[in-house]
Structure 1
């Protein structure tokens, strides 16, 4: 073998110079051709993704009678979407519940302009950069999409910088999702949630006492209840889900607020692959926040694991359940998975209930007659005593009020899906890689399903149950696991606030609903609190 190799080398070295030059020329010629082919391939692929593929998808959708906008090179409708949103959010609106034109101006206009004239019903198409987005403003079609059992509709791929905000079960698909969902579902069973009532009560009691100290001997006190209710919900999450108090989790919540701002900015920018790896100031801060939050949660997990090793029980909180699952032999859940589930619950659990309660206080300030009715029900049920589980379950007026508020002001104004493969919606053939937008807010404000008084506050709508076009917590197998958790917390908090205070909007309040992932009052929620005493049951008529 060595002799053969040596012979080859000798022959190679003995090649004449002119032949060597020819070989060199052929080599560089082949290399140049390969480079040109590679460049041509990249150009064609880029052309396909930014023009050819969008135009083919546009033609396919329009041939089926779906109305909407036409594809605009590279940006689609993003410039119009941002412009309309900036204009709508630049000034407050009148004190009414007709909020869709301000909150979602682009999608509201799309539905108004295209859905009614669409050949196939309540569907229209818009363009988010190079991707078509179907706006499905029909409750029956929305149910079909959310109940999807074949896995044709999945959570859409997003900018990786957005993924820093929340991962966990909400972003998993198919078998991974089913297994994780099954593991964490026991933490949200009714018995478990009802067992958290003492922790809920402690947090609410802390809030009420704090407000009483602020009012003091004064007749009234002006307070921004938005931040107060954020702290209440954060304390509830910390106590009931992680066995700690607000003080221990406060740094996590502060970091999450900063992270939300950075994530929204990333989601609204034109996505360029690889941009997240550039060491820009904001990119560095995004990853710093993520690492800080993970570090704090990892320390919390290690502290809990050490306590269990020393003989303490896992406990009934969410963290205890996750660690118990993690310790099972047939479970693939890692510490990093536990951290992501904690991140998800910290954000989703806090934001949903805090904003729900904030809008409830605002709406009851706008409608003092319903505030009086709710207070009378609470005081008749339990007087000044702390509401127990049985009392809370029988607060019918309070429940109707909360449901009507979340109809008018849903914390999540829309849900997104993505076609994983070619599929059908209502008899239409929808290609793969099409985004689906399910506009919860627009459905909740649609006269076709709620009547001509759709923008009026009428809690009696829910006296006979829940109407069909009602999706505040999603639908189908992926409905929000924390629904019962949020409802119990909201009912208890509202009942205890009504027991101790009456409230009205401050003259400085500006009605300006807008979305920063969840629906919030843009300029806060200043209200004037009036402390009630035992003899004061409700306002005089």
Structure 2
């Protein structure tokens, strides 16, 4: 009788046992067997890299190397020239370490994501020239960065991306951007007035931390130029996107760890709430825009996005998703990167007075009291060189990322489907073999003959706006916006770096001044 009941108990447990076996088999296949087969295909072609662990890949080693680098940095604090140091050694020390051990092409993993790290100029060139849709944006971006980027133009692939590019890119061509200069000048007026009053109230000299002012300016400029509204209308969106960006940056190393984004952690709950709030705010603006007869005739970027949501039909993207995700992409990429680059520009100009004076004299000589317009901006060669050098030393984006959506061959390597390809931009921008022994130094003169002259014959190694046919559609807007704000500031103030400035670049999805940029301003 006991044997009979024991058999019944085992029979009752049998489905659970089978389920556990199937679940383990699935997890083992997804998290180890498939990635290991992919790694083996690359290893057989001579691609090396650190040995991954189960589930977390190389994350434990990355954390260990970062901890060691932090200890070394604390010991050497104050003994090196921080302004010319390579901050990659602080933010991403594992990439430098692995590059020394494995060379300019190596394989590493974060969770189930297998990433081919590339700084080899020839392979970068081949990737830049590749027009195949088999090489697209990584699938993990829509999942792990979904709250911030969704299925917008920055993350989509195939027909959806082609449609989004067709809708958005023409609104950001230079002939359209030319007409936005006055709107950008208007957006800068409140900031300039505020600083002018601050300097006057403080007796002719005032310390101002510029970062939040620049974010407000950039947000207002983007709102006026692209969405037909002032900053006040979209202010809450920008604030929440900034909060979302900061929260997501804390989780960057754990991208690819299975299930991590579903856990009800404090960070995840904050991300979910912000995502819901941002979606509601954007849809409210879009609905108001559509029903407001006074703005419906404006053919700005928001109009194009709303129309584009109706013109295409894609299973992975509803009309609302099309509007929300592409607006989030523009709000984040257009606003945050321009503001961060402007802050770095001001820091470098404050630290190099000869270039500040040179850019100011050139502007005043060309402008001669006339209102700022596109023709004046076009002639500002010195300021253009300063911006280009700033983008080289402090590119706002950290990586160019792609995924082999099908088997593809690059640089003589057969890359299996599912492999991620990552180019660490700051490493490419500071490679002495491309930029010479002064690669870590601020030297805008290297761009005197343009980008091609700065790193000939490897112009593809300069990639602040990405590479290839996925290059940022908003780069014209960004460059004009930077020229507007910097030329206006140069024409009204002289500035030096505050003694309170602490040089510590930080990774918050973009590379930004970790403790802000305080400058001492004096009215000209």
Query: Structure 1 length as normaliser, TM-score?
Result: 0.86
Structure 2 stretches lacking a partner, 5+ long: 453-458
Shift in Å at residue 394 of structure 1?
0.5
In 1: Cα distance, 2:156 partner to 2:370 partner: 44
- For 1:188-203, list aligned pairs within 5 A: 188-203=172-187
Q: Which residue of 2 aligns with 1:126?
A: 108
Instruction: Report the 3-state secondary structure (helix = DSSP H, G, I; strand = E; otherwise coil) of the residue aligned with 1:503.
Output: strand
User: Is 2:152 aligned against 1:165?
Assistant: no
> Could you say if the C-alpha distance between residues 425 and 270 of structure 1 is closer, same or farther in structure 2, counting changes exceeding 3 Å?
closer
**Greater mean alpha carbon deviation, residues 55-64 or residues 342-351:** 55-64
Q: Which residue of 2 aligns with 1:174?
A: 158
Q: Which residue of 1 aligns with 2:424?
A: 439
Q: Which residue of 2 aligns with 1:501?
A: 493
**Greater mean alpha carbon deviation, residues 383-392 or residues 231-240:** 383-392
- For 1:327-338, list aligned pairs within 5 A: 334-338=319-323
> Could you say if the C-alpha distance between residues 201 and 270 of structure 1 is closer, same or farther in structure 2, counting changes exceeding 3 Å?
closer
User: Is 2:59 aligned against 1:72?
Assistant: no
Q: Which residue of 1 aligns with 2:350?
A: 365
Q: Which residue of 1 aligns with 2:95?
A: 107
> Could you say if the C-alpha distance between residues 130 and 334 of structure 1 is closer, same or farther in structure 2, counting changes exceeding 3 Å?
closer
Q: Deviations over 1:403-456 (max 9, x none)?
A: 011011111121212222222221112222222111111010001111111112
2:117 and 2:423 in contact (8 A); partners too: yes
Q: Which residue of 2 aligns with 1:355?
A: 340
Match for residue 39 of structure 1 among 15, 20, 25: 20
Q: Which residue of 2 aligns with 1:491?
A: 483
2:402 and 2:420 in contact (8 A); partners too: yes
In 1: Cα distance, 2:154 partner to 2:388 partner: 24
1:503 and 1:527 in contact (8 A); partners too: yes
- For 1:88-103, list aligned pairs within 5 A: 94-99=81-86, 100-103=88-91
Q: Which residue of 2 aligns with 1:187?
A: 171
Q: Which residue of 2 aligns with 1:342?
A: 327
Q: Which residue of 1 aligns with 2:197?
A: 213
In 2: Cα distance, 1:88 partner to 1:531 partner: 42
Q: Which residue of 2 aligns with 1:511?
A: 503
> Could you say if the C-alpha distance between residues 324 and 270 of structure 1 is closer, same or farther in structure 2, counting changes exceeding 3 Å?
closer
User: Is 2:223 aligned against 1:238?
Assistant: yes
Q: Which residue of 2 aligns with 1:153?
A: 135
> Could you say if the C-alpha distance between residues 389 and 110 of structure 1 is closer, same or farther in structure 2, counting changes exceeding 3 Å?
same
Q: Deviations over 1:337-363 (max 9, x none)?
A: 112111111111111111111111111
Q: Which residue of 2 aligns with 1:531?
A: 523
> Could you say if the C-alpha distance between residues 337 and 86 of structure 1 is closer, same or farther in structure 2, counting changes exceeding 3 Å?
farther
> Could you say if the C-alpha distance between residues 96 and 180 of structure 1 is closer, same or farther in structure 2, counting changes exceeding 3 Å?
same
Structure 1 stretches lacking a partner, 5+ long: 1-21, 116-121, 533-541
In 2: Cα distance, 1:131 partner to 1:336 partner: 26
In 2: Cα distance, 1:49 partner to 1:335 partner: 32
2:495 and 2:521 in contact (8 A); partners too: yes
Shift in Å at residue 525 of structure 1?
0.7
Q: Deviations over 1:485-518 (max 9, x none)?
A: 0000101111111001111111011111121100
Q: Deviations over 1:271-308 (max 9, x none)?
A: 56555455554433322211211111111111111113
User: Is 2:398 aligned against 1:413?
Assistant: yes
In 1: Cα distance, 2:257 partner to 2:310 partner: 40
In 2: Cα distance, 1:113 partner to 1:516 partner: 27
User: Is 2:272 aligned against 1:287?
Assistant: yes
Query: Structure 2 length as normaliser, TM-score?
Result: 0.89
1:74 and 1:129 in contact (8 A); partners too: yes
**Greater mean alpha carbon deviation, residues 286-295 or residues 510-519:** 286-295
Instruction: Report the 3-state secondary structure (helix = DSSP H, G, I; strand = E; otherwise coil) of the residue aligned with 1:466.
Output: helix
Shift in Å at residue 41 of structure 1?
2.9
Q: Deviations over 1:195-230 (max 9, x none)?
A: 111110101222211110111152211011112111
Q: Which residue of 2 aligns with 1:379?
A: 364
RMSD of aligned alpha carbons: 2.7
Shift in Å at residue 48 of structure 1?
3.0
Match for residue 303 of structure 1 among 282, 288, 292: 288
In 1: Cα distance, 2:12 partner to 2:166 partner: 55
1:413 and 1:518 in contact (8 A); partners too: yes
1:386 and 1:496 in contact (8 A); partners too: no
Instruction: Report the 3-state secondary structure (helix = DSSP H, G, I; strand = E; otherwise coil) of the residue aligned with 2:449.
Output: coil
Task: Number of aligned residue pairs: give it.
Answer: 502
Match for residue 125 of structure 2 among 116, 128, 143: 143
In 2: Cα distance, 1:323 partner to 1:130 partner: 36
- For 1:431-470, list aligned pairs within 5 A: 431-467=416-452, 468=459, 469-470=461-462
**Greater mean alpha carbon deviation, residues 167-176 or residues 399-408:** 167-176
In 2: Cα distance, 1:288 partner to 1:434 partner: 32
> Could you say if the C-alpha distance between residues 270 and 400 of structure 1 is closer, same or farther in structure 2, counting changes exceeding 3 Å?
closer
In 2: Cα distance, 1:205 partner to 1:28 partner: 78
In 1: Cα distance, 2:11 partner to 2:129 partner: 55
2:261 and 2:268 in contact (8 A); partners too: yes
Q: Which residue of 1 aligns with 2:456?
A: none
1:384 and 1:499 in contact (8 A); partners too: no
User: Is 2:300 aligned against 1:317?
Assistant: yes
